[in-house]
Structure 1
Amino acid sequence: MEKLLEEFIYHLAVERGLSENTLVSYRADLAKFISFCAKAGLKSVEQAGRDTVMAYLFQLQLDGRSTATISRHLASIRAFYRFAVGEGILPADPSSDLETPKPAQKLPRVLSVEEVDLLMGQPGSGEPAGLRDKAMLELLYATGMRVSELVSLNLEHVNLENGFVRCLGKGSRERIIPVGDVAVRWLKEYLERARYKLSKPGRTDALFVNQHGRRLTRQGFWKIIKKYARKAKIKKVITPHTLRHSFATHLLENGADLRSVQEMLGHADISTTQIYTHLTRNRLRDVYNRTHPRA
């Protein structure tokens, strides 16, 4: 096996022209696999079949290796076996039908209802910018819109009488999202008392404008939400997407069905929305562990 490994590395260097760092990585990965095979009593590459590769990948998992690391090892082994098949040493690649491990899905960070209330209470309503910020935060949490959708809103996209907002999502897909009474009230306050002070009439159709009277940008909103998170002394890392995640999670925790949440978020595939069910299950488990006398 060691001899075949050196031939493989030479092939990668000469025939494929891979960099020294890549060669080092291949050599290290395959040296570990060969060592595993040797400890299992295997003396040649012909003896190391599909079960051997599976056992090795399982051992990496037991050792606490990340999904990305295990996937890289499998890619190295596959390349090694393809070379062996190409050289006529093996009739077939025993690793060809093995699936690459899927990376662990990261759960989004969300705020508790108490933290949302704390964040919403930071903007002052005495100044035009404070009213604007309050209206933006309330609307974002009320609808779960993406920040790009929020800052793209024009005046005609908001119907405060009927309580809904119309926005264009990914792929120019239009959707109608209901807006709650609290957000509607603050939007009315902003439009009646603040927006005309920030933007001269007819200058822009943008719903939310900056201090110069132009459409607020995503970067501008990022700075705004970070400022209020610091003022609220919330220790979690908050991004503009945090309120979108919180919107979906809080709806599901309070009994909303997944299809409705999918439609409001503008997800094309419901599997994207299902990540929030993991969050609600985790919360239920935490509640159970804290409250059940025999948990």
Structure 2
Amino acid sequence: MRFSIFIACAFLFASPTAQARNIVLTNDDGLTSNVVALYRALRHAGHDVVVSVPCTNQSGMSAAISIARPLTPLDRPCLNDAAQAGDPATGMMTRDDLPAGDFHHVDGTPVMALLYGLDVAGMERWGGQPDLVLSGPNEGQNVGAMIMASGTVSNAQLAAVRGIPAMALSAGTNSRGDDLANPLSARIAARVLELIDALEDNAGGGPLLPQGLALNVNFPDTLEGAQWRLTRVGTYMAYRIEFTENMAESASPAMRAMAEARGAQVPPLPGLSFDINRNAPEPGQENDEGVVFRNGIAVSPMQAGYAAASSSAAFVAWQLDDLFAEGE
């Protein structure tokens, strides 16, 4: 409740000015129109920004990492020619229309890209951790149970566990742009700056968010008239995701249409089926981010990591009192 009041008050007393912050900007999609637009907006507002993103799209990788396996030079170009085959697996992007020294690629998972931004690029720039980690804006919303698979959200979680204020930012798939110039990206970036300014107004020069708190922020496909809404990571499933033994039998109309457009059929192979959940929310789910994001900008507080609330810990202590006593 205290965190919810904090976020609500931030929007009530927002000001147009903001303190310059050191920011690591990351994602799970690679070099995209959204990340370039947000970088430009942040720099224009006076923030110092280090971008560190995966070489290729890594959506759905959650918090995956490659342990004790050295990264070798690239065997193919990164997304949108951020780097070329033969370039180092990590380092500054070589695309010549990007600001020198600010954009970095990592041939790895989203969490690995963030760690590079924190432990290498950011440390070289600032000699310490940043004031804020922004993950996204993702090319597709991350709501409800979907966040368990999201690299966008996992990056924000990792930063929060490290004690760094963090936000996961997700927009619609209509924000994609192979030319890095989707006009919707700049509009999303402007709304992100609104959020940062609102939090800054109450920060008093200190951290933008309380210790142990991160935000999951989801923008609707259509931004016209979209209002900020304090929501929660709830139980409403905005998407239907199921494992099926036969993709052809369970394919959604959208999936079938895409296959037909390619002159193909959905193969009878096992895999995940994916479709929009068209069921209305159950009572108590009306304020879930999976419902709200379709019309408003959903801002959902998230705890850092998996630690339970003190009330839950007290319940477990009561339930297992005899067991714990035996170990004393």
Fold shared by both chains (TM-score > 0.5)? no
Structure 1 length as normaliser, TM-score?
A: 0.24
Larger radius of gyration: 1
More helix by share: 1
Higher strand share: 2
TM-score if structure 2 supplies the norm length? 0.22
Larger RCO of the pair (alpha carbons < 8 Å, separation 6+): 2
